[in-house]
Amino acid sequence: MLFSSPIFVFAFLPLLLALHALVPRAARNALLLVASLLFYWWGEPVASALMVVSILLNWAFGLLVERAQEQARPTSWILGWAIALNLAILFVFKYADWTWNGLSALLQGLGLLDAPLASVGSLLPEGGRLASALLNPDGSVRLPIGISFFTFQAMSYVVDVARRQGRVARNPADIALYVALFPQLIAGPIVRYKDVAEQIVERTVGLERFASGVRRFLIGLGKKMLVANFAAKCCDSIFALPTDQLTPQLAWLGVACYTVQIYFDFSGYSCMAIGLGRMFGFEFLENFQHPYSSQSITEFWRRWHISLSSWFRDYLYIPLGGNRAGKARTYFNLVLVFLLCGLWHGANSTFVVWGLWHGAFLVLERVALGDLLVRAPRALRHLYVMLAVMVGWVYFRAGGIEEAFGILRAMAFAPVGDGLVRYGDLAVSTAAANPLALHADILTWFALAAGCIGSTPWLPIVAAWHAGLEANGRSALARLLDILGTLLLLVVFFLCALEMAGGAYNPFIYFRF
């Protein structure tokens, strides 16, 4: 059930908001939990049971950790089992096929196998209920939507309890609501239990907070429907071409569209999640802070997917020693963390390369590049960041390493093929066979222009100016801005409704992670 689907916007959300306002305060958590489980069950009826098992396991581990602490016994073995079981669940559903196929290829390469190993799915009883529930039609293991997000959240709860950085939840419904809460369940932001524990027990939904949530939701909906989706159509069209049919112009246009799409798709989802949380009385931390305005890759990762980067920092980088064990160990830790960050996004060698790419830049900026950037002009620093990020997005988007290399060669104005597209005996140039106009229409250029403007921090600047007007007694002008802002959001909602009614392209990129 997508946030940008008619059934959510015009049925699920209004009904739930009405019920949330009508039921007694004591029943609101139960209502939200039931609604959240229904929300997830709508798209993942089988995996819903897996999420419930994960919730109960981590709730029990939290209690075991607390009991061990009260009895002054070591908690490391409990924490070890909790982490191992969480990672095992993630591995089976996300990485088993990739690992199995890699092992098969390795054994064939060594001459130890004459044919590839049978699929992982073949290990299950054929035709049984378990196989039909866990496997795709091709025999591969099904990837439950949002499994990385809810697994990381549940695991961080146990770790925080073991570190005495968060209190234990004695009521399993509290942990269930924390993990399954539908605004952030599927694609984050990754929420820490200690940040919402008090809000689960007691929260208020005032008119101002509710209105702020509605505005934030509409901004996110506009990002998704009117920018990301328009950019995605052109991007998908270009990336579907064989790489030997790419011209430099097409390659750059495709990557530019993906650069806009992934940011506005994911930040749009985060905006909607934060807005929905406010409508129900929750405050989630920001997940994006205008990352494309960064002046270094280090700064980029302080602004991009903040909940994930801070998760890896607190639960992996710092425990590994962070930057406290010398330069060599610091560089190793950075590369390892970003290698695992790439793998978190998916079981594919392209994600590994993407993670290593960013890890290498973080190391380079610590070694020497950072000092050079400080002295470089601001425009040059920004150009460097965008080039590095866009090249990284090629690996993130491409279906394989070879495809990524082909796109990068086209972007570098290096010939990928012979520059011809053949239709039987007829051969025409790639530029003639695939002109830009075939892939990009007026909506594409609108999305790119809106992406460039929307990637800058102009909204916080306007908000600060608005606050200054009220502070200086110019409240009439401030109210006029409020009215204009409200009218603009109504126009955005109307246009989004038209797109939804037309069945426009709509999947969220991060749902598959």
**Cα(34)–Cα(180) distance, rounded to whole angstroms?**
9
The DSSP call for residue 434 is S
Pairwise CA distance, residues 307 & 274, whole Å: 13
Q: Which tokens is 375 given?
A: 């002295």
- The whole-angstrom separation of Cα 388 and Cα 396 is 13
290 catalytic per annotation = no
**Sign of the alpha-carbon torsion through 499, 504, 509, 512:** positive
CA torsion angle 32 37 40 42 (round to 10): -110
- CB-CB neighbours of 59 under 10 Å: 24
Q: Which two tokens stand for residue 18?
A: 């009405």
The tokens 């695991």 sit on which residue?
A: 155
The packing angle between helices 47-70 and 25-43, to 10°, is 130
Rounded distance between C-alpha atoms, residue 295 and residue 310, angstroms: 19
Catalytic entry in 20, 290, 305, 345: 345
Contact (Cβ atoms closer than 8 angstroms) between residue 355 and residue 342 = yes
Task: Select from 323, 351, 355 the least CA-distant residue to 338.
Answer: 355
**Residue written as tokens 């990739």?**
98
Among candidates 122, 151, 152, which has minimal Cα distance to 134?
122
Retrieve residue 306's tokens.
Answer: 């903040």
**Taking a C-beta distance cutoff of 8 angstroms, is the pair 392, 315 a contact?**
no
Q: Are 133 and 126 in contact (CB under 8 A)?
A: no
Phi, psi of 115 (to 5 degrees): -140, 160
Range 167-202 burial, b when 16+ CB lie within 10 A, else e: ebbeebebbbbbbbbbbbbbbbbbbbbeebbebbee
Q: Is residue 275 a contact partner of residue 311, using CB atoms and an 8 Å limit?
A: no
SS3 assignment, position 118: coil
**CB-CB contact of 227 with 260 (8 Å):** yes
Burial 74-96 (b: 16+ CB within 10 A, else e): ebeebbeebbebbeebbeebbbb
So which residues are the catalytic ones? 345
